[in-house]
Amino acid sequence: ISAKDISCLYKKGNNSVVALNAVSCQLHSGDRIAVVGPSGSGKSTLLQVMGGIEPPTSGTITWPALGPRHALRPEKIGFIFQTESLLEPLNCIENVKIPLLLSHVGEEEADEAAFNALKKLSLENLANKLPEELSGGQAQRVAAARAIVRQPKVILADEPTGQLDQTTGQHLLDLLLASIEGTDTALVIATHDMTVARRMKTVWYMEHGRLEVRQHC
């Protein structure tokens, strides 16, 4: 993913907020990037622009290796959000199957792939549970299983451990990293948690909508 001079303005009545200010960055196969910075510094917006959810106000974002219109193509990009992203009426395996059904994978193949993804996140015993029956950590692991189920080229995770305690958060991260180990999937995690950031290969530090520092760990 290649972002060049991206700015993002949100209009609010007569005011506008600069969420991103001339950010340029590139994401390559196999990258492990933590995006850190204070609340409001633009981390979420950067992930949304990289994923094609939020169009930038100016600048160019391209996905040369992914092809056009990849944002809603779960075989290219998987998203993990901070919380409550599971669909309530669906059980765990049904939630994980959503990306497969959206890309018209057959029911039987979808079941198998979803179960494998659940296994990678140590959730095989919870396949038939409803979201309301899960702990916060389990729910985030289901969200991670759903993000990896199509073996996407990119995973964008916005504060995936933000609502979890240290141990639970590290467990999620362990399983997520193990699930993409040896693949060329790139992982970008926006996080406040330096113990999460330190597990990545690269840290991007944001402040006031700018990507100020890039550091290799």
| Contacting positions for ligand ADP (CB under 6 A) | 10, 12, 17, 19, 37, 39-45, 82, 159
In the three-class reduction of DSSP (H, G, I as helix; E, B as strand; rest coil), residue 96 is classed as: helix
The nearest distance, CB 94 to ligand ADP, in angstroms, is: 25
C-beta closer to ligand ADP: residue 133 or 214: 214
The nearest distance, CB 53 to ligand ADP, in angstroms, is: 9
Stated length of the chain: 217
Nearest-angstrom CA–CA distance, 170 and 180 = 16
Q: CA dihedral defined by 69, 203, 160, 10, rounded to 10 degrees?
A: -60
C-beta closer to ligand ADP: residue 46 or 114: 46
C-beta closer to ligand ADP: residue 44 or 185: 44
Residue carrying structure tokens 């057959």: 106
Cα-based distances in Å from 98 to 146, 147, 213: 8, 10, 37
C-beta closer to ligand ADP: residue 12 or 104: 12
The nearest distance, CB 142 to ligand ADP, in angstroms, is: 20
The nearest distance, CB 154 to ligand ADP, in angstroms, is: 18
Nearest-angstrom CA–CA distance, 63 and 2 = 6
